[in-house]
Amino acid sequence: MSHRDLPRHALWITIYLFFILGPLFVLLIGAMPPARDFATEFSVALGYSGLAMMGLQFGLTARFRHVTQPLGEDVIYHFHRRISLIAVTLVFVHPLILLVAGSEAMRLPDSLMELPLGAVFAGISVCSLLLLVVTALWRTRLKIRYEVWHASHIVLALLAIGAGLFHMIAWGFYLDNPWKRAFWIGVVALWIALLLYVRVFKPLFMLRRPYRIAEVRKERGETTTLVMRPEGHAGLRFQPGQFGWLTLWGSPFKITGHPFSFSSSAQADDGRVEMSIRRLGDFTDAVQSVAPGQRVYLDGPYGSFTVRDSTAVKVMIAGGIGITPMMSIIRTLADRGDKRRLILIYGNKDWDSVSFREELEALQERTQLTVVHVLSRPHVGWTGESGYIDAALFKRHLPEGYADHEYFICGPGIMMDAIEAALGEMDVPLSRYHSERYSFV
């Protein structure tokens, strides 16, 4: 993050806090109900704040470019995960405080049939949240397919928020006032409208702008490149390094799209775009069976993982399929005749799994590109770098003035963590490197 981005980031944080705290402060306007003890009021404040945080998750995941562009969509989604856990914690702490304080509201009646309606809705909301958290954190261990999890995630979130609203209305302490009740109903309606925007209005736009698979190209490392051409429109324009959400089978109204980097040059004048997808299990296993002529849909471009106009040496560090946004950057600069210095440090398991190996050799003739291959399982006779990418390797291959270069990092999470730590050892400031983590699950 550069210093010039700070005001914009601060603005978005302020807006986010406004939407979290604004609905809470509205409850304090006008006539107030009788005051209660601190524990009760504090508990209620946590409950309202938790619900507001949960509702705004629909906005964070709505893919508004003005929101995602400053920080990058990967940052937005990681923030979504963390803030969701905080919101759920607030909602769970809300009744625990009442229970510890011995509130009358937590006393169970003699019969379940006598439970207040507000308590019933509270139970539905809490149970929905519990299922939502368990399935989100342990989806892989529970062996839940991504598409099934995605659909259930949306349903459980809607159920939790809807039941939470009815809980507040049925309890009727702060929402006893008609206009305050109408205000909170309107706020929840806005949250649901954000979901409708993603699931209805945006797919309608995509439906009018389909793509056709023009070519399916096999690459090294169990990678398949899909070449897509726009059908009946000019196509999208993207910056090298950005990504899009691909709907490969079915209509754009399908519940689940998948994010992949564009691997093609951004200079293509016919609207053609390419995505290179490695076989990693689940959805990606079926990509190699895609046939030319198939209709697909793209939502994008997204991401801030792009080259800035500066004279700094561009150092690209890729692991495995993390090479795809780097290929887009290199191909684009080659097509533009850009001669700035590029250094690619590319880690792979073995020599046969190096995707785009031959093309990278050819691109060194068209650009000021230097490629350093790093193999974790080198073959006999390998004379290049082996093992893992670390600070010592950087110092062997990068020119002096490490803090002045611009770094782009993409690959497995463990590798990216290690590289960011290595750059820290070399006193490279955070503002000089960009990392994109494409796991939005």
Cα–Cα distance for residue pair 17/20, rounded to 1 Å = 5
Identify the domain boundary among 202, 232, 248. Answer: 202
**Does 134 share its domain with 96?**
yes
What is the three-class DSSP state of 244? strand
320 found inside a domain: yes
List the CATH number of the domain containing 273.
Answer: 2.40.30.10
Q: Is residue 309 part of a domain?
A: no
Say if 138 falls within a structural domain: yes
pTM given for the model = 0.80
Taking Cα atoms as reference points, which of 18, 92, 86 lies closest to residue 54?
86
For residues 7-28, one letter each, b for 16 or more C-beta atoms within 10 angstroms of the residue's C-beta and e for the rest, the string is eeeeeeeeebeebbeebeebbe
Domain, as residue range, for 249: 211-302
pLDDT of the residue at 79: 78
Residue 163 lies in a domain: yes
DSSP conformation class of 40: H
**Distance from C-alpha of 245 to C-alpha of 261, rounded to nearest angstrom:** 9
Q: Are residues 33 and 143 in the same domain?
A: yes
Residues 43 and 185 occupy one common structural domain: yes
Edge-first strand order for the sheet with 258-261 is 258-261, 243-247, 295-302, 211-219, 223-230, 273-278
User: End of a domain among 250, 276, 302?
Assistant: 302
Helix (H), strand (E) at residue 229 = strand 223-230
Instruction: Give the pLDDT of the chain (441 residues) as one tens digit per residue.
Output: 444 556 666 777 788 888 888 888 888 888 788 888 899 889 988 999 999 888 888 877 767 666 666 566 666 777 778 888 899 999 999 999 998 888 877 777 777 777 888 889 999 999 999 999 899 888 888 888 877 888 898 899 999 999 999 998 988 788 888 898 899 999 999 888 888 888 888 889 899 999 999 999 999 989 999 999 999 999 999 999 999 999 988 888 887 778 899 999 999 888 899 999 998 877 788 888 899 999 999 998 888 788 877 778 899 999 999 999 999 999 999 999 988 899 999 999 999 999 999 999 999 999 999 999 999 999 999 999 999 999 999 999 999 999 999 999 998 888 988 999 999 999 999 888 888 765 544
Report if residue 231 sits inside a domain: yes
Residues 267, 235 share a domain = yes
In a domain, 308, yes or no: no
What is the distance between the alpha carbons of residues 374 and 392, in angstroms, rounded to a whole number?
13
Contact status, residue 259 vs residue 209, Cβ threshold 8 Å: no
403 and 291 together in one domain: no
**Based on the domain organization, do 357 and 409 belong to the same domain?**
yes
Same-domain status, 131 and 229: no
CA angle at 338 for the pair 324 and 268, rounded to the nearest 5°: 55
Task: Judge contact between 60 and 31, C-beta under 8 A.
Answer: no
Number of domains making up the chain:
3
Determine the distance from the C-alpha atom of residue 54 to the mean position of all C-alpha atoms in its chain, rounded to a whole number: 17
pLDDT of residue 108: 74
Neighbouring residues of 96: CB distance < 8 A, sequence distance ≥ 6: none
Say which CATH number the domain at 374 has. Answer: 3.40.50.80
Q: Which residue has the tokens 């405080």?
A: 97
Among 302, 333, 353, give the residue marking a domain's end: 302
325 in the same domain as 187: no
Q: Are residues 196 and 219 in the same domain?
A: no
What are the backbone dihedrals phi and psi of residue 297, each rounded to the nearest 5 degrees, phi first? -130, 145
Which amino acid does the sequence have at 103?
S
Distance of CA 132 to the CA centre of its chain: 18
Strands (E), 268-384: 273-278, 295-302, 314-319, 341-348, 368-375
Closest CA to 310 of 351, 347, 338, 343: 338
Query: Could you give the C-alpha distances from 436 to 9, 22, 259, 312, 323, in angstroms and in order?
Result: 18, 32, 12, 20, 12
Residue 289 lies in a domain: yes
- Helical residues (DSSP H) of 279-397, grouped into ranges: 323-336, 357-366, 391-397
| 282 and 334 inside one domain | no
Contact 232, 314 (CB under 8 A): no
Residue 440 lies in a domain: no
| Alpha helices (H) in 381-441, listed in sequence order | 391-397, 413-425
Same domain, 263 and 294: yes
Judge contact between 330 and 363, C-beta under 8 A: yes
pLDDT of residue 172: 79
Are 242 and 339 found together in one domain?
no
